Structure 1
């Protein structure tokens, strides 16, 4: 047999340890991670003192949204003295598991339980909470605690199966999240990460820059390893050594280059369970292992997953019905581009300008409900859903740009306002779209109200805005596919939704969990990002007067916004500006008190326009 054949046979042969050896390796590798973590934190006790990075008087702000009882428990566990005790207990228990104490079954159960409890108790005492290594090592230790709680081999096998499935899920989820990123698909991710201050490595970055094709191959190899990791269960264990070895090498490389040393032991601690669970020989009893491996857990897990998927998809159908029913009385318009816009027109006979309300990115028409009610008492108001949102339809076939939204809006104005003058009020991205539309429509637009509006230069001039773009990119790529899989029920309702009128909340939440909203938002964000990145400093110029309403907390959190708001106001013939104190970017329109203040400012502004005041 040739050397190459022997090597291939060696690599692609199913391997595993026996049940007890698998459990020992997993709990010891994870215990080593816990030991290092606790020793590191004990050595940096100054971090938990006043002024330190983990000063609990500061970090405890992270638990303010928990219940009273939970808050008290976390507060007690995160006291510096309690934290020290927990880390000492975790370190001693980890050392015990690393020692040759294999026969002390009950003692090892207690040590695993102490480590798991201490890990949970110390998470909130760190300003950034737990990281990936903390979470992975906790899962391993918790599974080992369950395994040691009984001498029944089926209990041990269930715990090992849990670790094997969790490890597979970790890699597959990580890989498919990377797959939707153009940076990873293009091969730019590896040099980009190596260039960062936090996780970078100068030598690796220079090498990746010098050999871009090799860097691309490495990046794609990581993608392939993670995305295809579930193949270990479809190959009768033959591919497991290769995948597990590649994953371990990946973690070692991350530890050496990126300083993520604890990730090596934390994630590799699950690998013995993967080898054990994928070896077909463990399904039958043998002299080495008299009790055959129990495969009940994956069957139960698969049934639960299938039931969860079916329930989620059924819930998605019900949510879609809620969305459709909520707009059953709304009017519809087919635009020149072929899109269908759904809109609601209120108080059509009122005097003064027609007020159009332009929503933010990934927002619903119901976000305007407090303001619509306030303005509709005196003015004709139009609230609409841009193409793709809610019950509106996006049917254009060419590549989408923000100019397409402006064209649709122009058609809506022509259809609903006849020859009357108009005022456009826009929130967030809707503010910038209002400016663009006002420029396109011309003199009929008497006023533009910008409510905590976006500025096309914000990604360049605001560090806070620029910092959130990467997260927004990845989030919007994943949201629509996740909603289509029926995962909408797992999406928590934002706090701002709970401040809307009670009768509006079901429709708002249904739209928020609807794939259509996220598809439309992703399409708009890509166009917005491209336009903002190419911003040349020239804002749309409009003949109308401009009302700038800023949220007080937005100004406090991002000083650059005051200057950006002033520039937005200068785009018109005259400017009026106000700050809505204590409001944030969302509550400025969704909280009734702040919305009332906005209504008052917009009403006074609209009346001044009607009377021709400057």
Structure 2
């Protein structure tokens, strides 16, 4: 017992270097990563030539979305010839930092600055061959440059605190992102990673098969290490050596098994700072102003985020001019917009997919509204529509709400339902609920309830969406909606609607509705297809049916659910652009107009 106690004290006793040595250790570990990276990229200069993975004629297109000044500067620094010079300068600066030049404060500050600046300049020209280690070591060198630029100890302490907090954030975020994945929670992740071509290791994979319980335990240990990393600051730093040592061992194992050698130096470069700021023996001489300021800023940011979330919810929940409301038999309030209300003939309703706004139909709706009555609505929980129903939610609930809306707006006029993606399947369910009032259904690149079981591509997309929901919804609840990246498809919407559409997309209530609907999809998508009496028009995006031939069969089966079907492929379109790109959407609208006109003729 005495030996175990001494061992525990040795492992859990806080220990660190002094301020100057801590900064030097961080610099050297980061510099080592940059040196290796630059030497690797310099020896692979052919990669930047014609046909190479970093062919500048191709990679320079990544700068198209930058501002004109940034585009010119980065284009100049990332060109192959200039990049070679910058890599040489970065390597030379790294060698200088690795040498015993600790007393040359200004020179080391300049070397750190050269490494940081050259990393920014060369990054656009090296899409392949760079990774998270480059970003981590960039932060180390940029922070060290700031620390060396002043003689004030509190500046160096602020820099070290920044590195320590950044390191903690890196591990914690990585852990909680893994936590939302069922694969990691179940312990299946380790065998899966070891089996991949890019990061796999045959021997390690065989070990996971031979010792599955140990493999699961290792996976759960990684989760625990990363998710619980903030407790390094608890207990007067007693756990910091254990967590830092475990993290270093984790990176070393990844280097040996997965080939991630640069990660060892890049992320370990922040470890000395962690040990320094958690060591109570350094507290008397250490300035701890930065974490206090960070806590104040974080609290203010949280309060601001919650205020913005509340303001956004009020704005989105307030119907825009021309938007009407109706209450369904379940008590839900649906917001909808009617165009060309007094036209004769069928009423065309639009059913959106998951996490799409009503504005995604705009380029399809506008030309159709010239000759037909069109209705775009928001399902309960989206936008200004409110869910009041307390019964368990199913896709049938949505179909019943839609039937009530159709009765309210169309009366005894015939109905045509147009649905995109999952909205296509919902359109079929709604038509089944409407019965003979539904004369036609248009499926725009629809989802099939058996698609995830029969299409690997669709199954992968479903897994990706599940993972996205796992971290987006908690982030929205914490008031981080303003940080949610808006999909590129929003850039193709009418300019005057993009800002409003983005507000709807960042609304916390919408993502709660998405989660509710996704759960219902998983329960209801059992392969069963509705059977309806309406005629069908199936419009497939060319990329969907060409890149995944299973989709052709699935779309044919969906078309067979009604009383005859017409099929068209929309050329040069994918799952999103088929409705959001103006040119493709107008082609879709033309097919719908011809289909509805044909329905009217055949019904006479």
Q: Normalising to structure 1: TM-score of the pair?
A: 0.90
2:383 aligned with 1:390, yes or no?
yes
Per-residue deviation, residues 25-83 of structure 1 (Å, max 9, x unmatched): 11111111111111222222221111111111122222222223322222222222222
1:204: how far off? Answer: 2.2
Residue 434 of structure 1 and its aligned partner are, at CA, apart by: 1.5
Counterparts of 1:352-501 in structure 2, within 5 Å, are 352-394=345-387, 400-456=393-449, 458-459=451-452, 464-501=457-494
- The SS at the match of 1:111 is helix
2:245 corresponds to: 245
Say if 1:123 and 1:129, in contact at 8 Å, map to a contact too: no
Distance 1:562 1:71, change over 3 A: farther
Aligned match of 2:325? 331
Distance 1:173 1:570 in 2: 47
Q: Deviations over 1:165-202 (max 9, x none)?
A: 10011111111112222222222222222222222222
Separation in structure 2 between the aligned mates of residue 34 and residue 229 of structure 1, nearest angstrom: 26
RMSD across aligned C-alpha pairs, in angstroms? Answer: 2.7
Deviations 1:483-529 (A, max 9, x none): 12111222344443344445544432221111121222233334445
Using the TM superposition, give the Cα deviation of residue 613 of structure 1 relative to its aligned residue in structure 2, in angstroms.
Answer: 7.3
> 1:222 Cα shift?
1.5
Whether the 8 Å contact between 1:350 and 1:379 is mirrored in structure 2 is yes
> What does residue 505 of structure 2 align with?
512
Deviations 1:87-115 (A, max 9, x none): 22222221221122222222212221111
Choose 303-312 or 268-277, whichever is displaced more.
303-312
Cα distance, 1:130–1:397 mapped onto 2, change above 3 Å: farther
C-alpha distance in 2 between matches for 1:456 and 1:149: 61
Give the aligned partner of residue 603 of structure 1.
Answer: 593
Q: Give the Cα separation in 2 of the matches to 1:415 and 1:613.
A: 23
1:319-340 Cα distance to aligned partner (Å, 9 max, x none): 111111135842132344x644
8 Å Cα contact 2:317-2:385 kept in structure 1: no
Structure 2 distance, partners of 1:207, 1:332, is 61
Alignment of 1:39-54 (within 5 A): 39-54=39-54
Q: Find the counterpart in structure 2 of residue 287 from structure 1.
A: none
Contact in 1 for aligned 2:53/2:128 (Cα 8 Å): no
Q: Are the counterparts in 1 of residues 350 and 417 from structure 2 also a CA contact under 8 Å?
A: yes
User: Which stretch of structure 1 is more off in the superposition, 485-494 or 85-94?
Assistant: 485-494
Work out the CA distance in 2 between the residues paired with 1:395 and 1:251. 50
- Cα displacement (A) at 1:3: 0.8
Q: TM-score, normalised by structure 2?
A: 0.92
SS of the counterpart of 2:235? coil
- What is residue 547 of structure 1 aligned with on the other side? 537
1:154 CA displacement: 1.5
1:187 matched residue in structure 2: 187
1:43–1:435 CA distance, 2 compared to 1 (3 A): same
> Quick one: structure 1 residues 166 and 343, their matched pair in 2 at CA, closer, same or farther if it must change by over 3 Å?
same
Structure 1 unaligned segments of length 5 or more: list them.
Answer: 285-291
Moved more, 466-475 or 293-302: 466-475
In structure 2, the CA distance between the partners of 1:75 and 1:556, relative to structure 1 (3 Å rule), is farther
Distance 1:496 1:129, change over 3 A: farther
Stretch deviating more after TM superposition (455-464 or 78-87): 455-464
Q: Secondary structure at the match of 1:175?
A: helix
Deviation per residue, 1:240-264 (Å, 9 max, x gap): 1111111111111111122111111
Q: How does 1:222-261 map to 2 (within 5 A)?
A: 222-261=222-261
Counterpart contact for 1:326–1:507, Cα < 8 Å: no
State the distance in 2 between where 1:472 and 1:210 align. 32
Q: For structure 1, which segment, 269-278 or 476-485, has the greater mean C-alpha deviation from structure 2 after superposition? A: 476-485
Three-state SS of the structure 2 residue aligned to 1:611 is: helix
Alpha-carbon distance change, 465 to 74 in structure 1, aligned in 2, over 3 angstroms: farther
Which residue pairs with 1:289 in the alignment?
A: none
Equivalent position SS for 1:443: helix
Provide the secondary structure at the position in 2 that maps to 1:419.
Answer: coil
Contact kept? 1:208, 1:215, Cα under 8 Å: yes
C-alpha distance 203-498 of structure 1, shift in aligned 2 (>3 A): closer
Q: Identify if the C-alpha distance between structure 1 residues 530 and 209 changes in structure 2 by more than 3 Å, giving closer, same or farther.
A: farther
SS in structure 2 at match of 1:612:
helix
1:413-463 Cα shifts (integer Å, max 9, x gaps): 345433332111011221122133334544332211122323445545655
Query: Within 2, Cα distance between the matches of 1:462 and 1:125?
Result: 36
2:318–2:384 CA contact under 8 A, matched in 1: no
User: Which whole-Å CA distance do the structure 2 matches of 1:591 and 1:470 have between them?
Assistant: 26
Query: Residue 143 in 1 paired to residue 143 in 2?
Result: yes
Are positions 1:313 and 2:303 aligned together? Answer: no
